[in-house]
Chain A
């Protein structure tokens, strides 16, 4: 059993130096508070909350949603007509190399466009089919 926590002596010296320099410069204010960009989620209509303010129920709902979305197949547009030509969310034609997301109802969108939408509502914008129900039927049939 080895000890993974290595404390080289040089560290101690640098810490001491750091302390010294702070004391010698009184103009230097306290360090800015640690800030992190917290993603904002939309657990239900008219409710938008940063990730750290979600209720437990909402956390579970969002975690489930993220898990389900990550299971939806993705791909890259290779020019085949079968995958459709246009993303109806941004109304832009697919360009070779675009990242796509395929829904179980066989509708295709830009990955970025549909992922943002599915976090708000879990239905296909084209056929309004609930994605979770469609996922279940594809599992059952395959």
Chain B
């Protein structure tokens, strides 16, 4: 029963995202047979060290979705105070719901069943722009972000340069489109390219 509800909800969100793509990311299930595993491409937000980068991540929804949060982890290499070294995203809205007796986080800061793929990714993008270094998942990144901002920028650039190599084909598309890399374009082409081989 719970699985059916999650399934319906995710199908609905997929249809909504295909109809009205949101700027800044592109998302869809990895395999049409399993709606509970999504792949996400996030475009590095403007005026941040991540600008110009493309970052691939996965969202794994539990069968109890929307009562429990999905787990999000970056597949691409990432350097960020709130992303652990294995790529796991650590933000309060993805923490299990309820009141913990230690009062570490209030129920209102934690997961809510009204969150969707869109609201989660919007939060993650704003986390990229504005890290929370008070509760870091990657202490080294947090320290560098606070104390050596220039080194931090370089470290991030090194990250997404590596990502760019693996996304080399995106560059080709960008060149064809007069170097105008807009996420709307990626949105339109992502699934097409992933499913069919490129023909020149």
Residues of A within 8 A of B (CB): 42-46, 88-92, 113, 116-117, 120-123, 125-126, 128, 130
Is A45 a contact partner of B108 (Cβ separation < 8 A)? no
Sample of 16 further A-B pairs with CB below 8 A, known A117-B97, A125-B113: A42-B98, A44-B99, A45-B96, A45-B99, A45-B100, A89-B66, A90-B9, A113-B113, A117-B67, A120-B68, A120-B97, A121-B110, A122-B99, A122-B107, A125-B114, A128-B112
Closest to B112 in A: A125
Q: What is the number of residues of chain B that contact chain A, defined by CB distance less than 8 Å?
A: 20
Is A91 a contact partner of B12 (Cβ separation < 8 A)? yes
Contacts A125-B112, A126-B114 given; does A120 touch B8 at CB 8 Å: no
Which residue in B5, B67, B68, B108 is a CB contact (below 8 Å) of A123?
A: B108
Q: Which of B1-54 contact A (CB under 8 A)?
A: 5, 8-9, 12
How distant is B7 from chain A, measured CB to nearest CB, in Å? 11
Residues of B within 8 A of A (CB): 5, 8-9, 12, 66-68, 95-101, 107-108, 110, 112-114
Which residues from chain A contact B67 at a C-beta distance below 8 Å? 116-117, 120
Which residues from chain B contact A125 at a C-beta distance below 8 Å? 112-114
Can you spell out 8 A-B residue pairs with CB atoms less than 8 angstroms apart? A45-B96, A45-B97, A89-B114, A91-B12, A117-B113, A120-B98, A123-B112, A125-B114
Closest to A114 in B: B113
